[in-house]
Chains A and B, each alone.
Chain A
Amino acid sequence: AQSVSQHNHHVILSEAASLELGCNYSYGGTVNLFWYVQYPGQHLQLLLKYFSGDPLVKGIKGFEAEFIKSKFSFNLRKPSVQWSDTAEYFCAVSPTGTASKLTFGTGTRLQVTL
């Protein structure tokens, strides 16, 4: 079975600071990788996804993530965060070629201060 680790549980940054949230997964085969965001009081929304090809994936709102297969990692980055990025961020993985259930990490709560 697959598992996902998000080591940063709570991150506090000032506006304009750079962001990197760690995500490591455990699975013996090929995977699809995702980052979801949950803004306060809202539902989960897809930030970006990796299926194959270029390991550097660009998503919405200036976020990007890099898949490093040798490290089983899919870290999320943003060069300059905004107050509106305050949210909970979830990394998720799914084995390729399956019925697509996602395994989520425990989430990282990002708080951006003015």
Chain B
Amino acid sequence: GAGVSQSPRYKVAKRGQDVALRCDPISGHVSLFWYQQALGQGPEFLTYFQNEAQLDKSGLPSDRFFAERPEGSVSTLKIQRTQQEDSAVYLCASSLAQGSLNYGYTFGSGTRLTVV
């Protein structure tokens, strides 16, 4: 597609529920990033894929967070046993280049997760 597509746009989860957030990057983009943006804060890095390989997951806040990109295109961020502190906007970004920012990122509109 023309941009990075994320779904759902909004998700309300009860505490303890598992959620799955989807990211459809721009076709052909090798690099894919997930960020978490809490209210009033800047985005914070969660994890990075180059094709299907997860090269950096240092930003994942706990082992309840898991991301995958099995075929090197669509990615899913899964949060198990959600807690209130997981409430945030989850942003996905993709980039044409590998490990280079010469092309910059294209960000999706994000998924706003609210845990009640």
A57 at the interface (CB under 8 A from B): no
Question: Chain B residues with Cβ under 8 A from A75's Cβ?
Answer: none
CB of A88 to closest CB in B, whole Å: 9
Q: Are A98 and B99 in contact (CB-based, < 8 A)?
A: yes
B56-98 interface with A by 8 A CB criterion: 56, 59, 91, 93, 95
A94 at the interface (CB under 8 A from B): yes
Question: Chain B residues with Cβ under 8 A from A4's Cβ?
Answer: 42
Q: Are B101 and A32 in contact (CB-based, < 8 A)?
A: yes
* Cβ-defined partner of B40 (8 Å) among A92, A102, A104, A106: A106
B24-70 interface with A by 8 A CB criterion: 31, 33, 35, 40-45, 48, 50, 55-56, 59
What is the CA–CA distance of A92 and B100 in the complex, to the nearest angstrom? 15
Q: Is the interface of B mostly helix, strand, loop or mixed?
A: loop
Q: Are A99 and B41 in contact (CB-based, < 8 A)?
A: no
Question: Chain A residues with Cβ under 8 A from B102's Cβ?
Answer: 51
Q: Are A43 and B45 in contact (CB-based, < 8 A)?
A: no
Question: Chain B residues with Cβ under 8 A from A71's Cβ?
Answer: none
A17 at the interface (CB under 8 A from B): no
Q: Are B48 and A99 in contact (CB-based, < 8 A)?
A: yes
What is the CA–CA distance of A107 and B93 in the complex, to the nearest angstrom? 18
Q: Are A90 and B42 in contact (CB-based, < 8 A)?
A: yes
Residues of B within 8 A of A (CB): 3-4, 31, 33, 35, 40-45, 48, 50, 55-56, 59, 91, 93, 95, 99-102, 104-105, 107-110
